[in-house]
Chains A and B, each alone.
Chain A
Amino acid sequence: MSKKNNRSQKAEKVIERMGQKLNRQIAGSMLACVHCGMCTDSCHYVLANPGDPTYAPAYKADRARKLFKRHFDWTGRVFPKWVGADTVTTDQDLEELKDIVFGKCTNCRRCSINCPMGVDFATFNRMMRGLLVSVGVMPEGVAVVSKDQWEIGNQMGVLKEDYLETLEWMGEELQDELDDPTVKIPVDKMGADVVYSINPREVKYDPRSIADAAKIFHVAGENWTMPSEGWDMTNFGLFSGDDALGGSVAGRLYEKVTELRGKTLVISECGHGYRSTRCEGPNWAQHDVPYMMESSVATMLRYIKEGRINVDKTKNPEPVTFHDSCNNARSCGLFEEPRELLNLVCMEFREMYPNRSENYCCTGGGGAMSMSEYTPRRLKSAKIKADQLKATGAAAVVTSCHNCVDGLGDVIRHYELGMEVTQLVHLVANALVIEEKVQVAVEEEAAVAAVAAAEPAEVATRETVATEGIADEALPFAGRTVLVVDDEPDQVDFIATVLEDNGATVLRAADGEEALAKARSEKPDLLTLDLGMPGRDVGEVYETIRNDADLENLRVCIITGRPELRKLIYNRSVKKPEGYLDKPLDEEGLVLNVKKVLELT
Chain B
Amino acid sequence: MALVYITRITWFLKRFKAGKERQAETGLPGTTKAKGIVYSWANVAMPWAMESTRKKPFFYAQFLIFHIGGVTAAIALSFIIPYAPGLLENSTLVLLLQVSIGLACLIGVMRIVRRVSNPYMRAISSPDDYFSLILLTVWFFFATLSVPNSTANGELHLLTYFILTAFFLVYVPFSKICHYLYYPFTRYYFGKSMGYRGVYPLRSESR
Contact = CB atoms under 8 A, between A and B. Distances in A.
Contacts of B203: 335, 356-357
B120 to A, nearest CB: 5
Nearest to A355: B206
B53 interface: yes
A32 B18 contact: no
B154 interface: no
Instruction: Kindly name the residue among B12, B52, B129, B205 whose own CB sees the greatest number of chain A CB atoms within 10 A.
Output: B52
Interface of B: 8, 12-13, 15-24, 26-28, 31, 40, 43-44, 50-53, 55-56, 59, 63, 118-129, 131, 174-176, 179, 182-183, 185-187, 189-191, 193-194, 197-199, 202-203, 205-207
What is the interface residue range for chain A against chain B? Answer: 35 or more
Given A56-B120, A116-B52, A118-B190, A357 B199 contact: yes
A82 B51 contact: no
Given A23-B17, A34-B179, 4 more contacts: A116-B44, A118-B190, A281-B23, A333-B199
Nearest to A29: B186
A114 interface: yes
A25 B194 CA distance: 13
A51 B124 contact: no
Given A35-B176, A53-B124, A116 B43 contact: yes
B123 A59 contact: yes
A547 interface: no
A114 B52 contact: yes
In the A-B complex, the 8 residue pairs with the smallest Cβ-Cβ separation, listed nearest first, are A333-B198, A84-B126, A53-B123, A333-B27, A118-B186, A114-B52, A32-B182, A118-B187
Contacts of A62: 124
Contacts of B197: 279, 331-333
A430 B27 CA distance: 27
A354 B13 contact: no
Interface stretch (A38-46, A146-154, A306-314, A564-572): A38-46
Contact of A53 (B12, B27, B122, B190): B122
Interface of A: 22-29, 31-35, 37-42, 46, 51, 53-54, 56, 58-59, 62, 74-75, 81-84, 112-120, 278-283, 286-289, 292-293, 330-336, 351, 353-359
A23 B187 CA distance: 15
Contacts of A279: 21, 23, 26, 197
A25 B189 contact: yes
B173 to A, nearest CB: 9
Contacts of A81: 127
A395 B198 CA distance: 30
A117 B189 contact: no
Contact of B50 (A27, A40, A51, A114): A114
A443 B183 CA distance: 63
A117 B182 contact: yes
A330 B118 CA distance: 30
Contact of B19 (A23, A51, A357): A23
B119 A84 contact: no
Nearest to A357: B202
Contacts of A24: 12-13, 16-19, 185, 189
A66 to B, nearest CB: 9
A118 B199 contact: no
B138 to A, nearest CB: 18
A82 B127 contact: yes
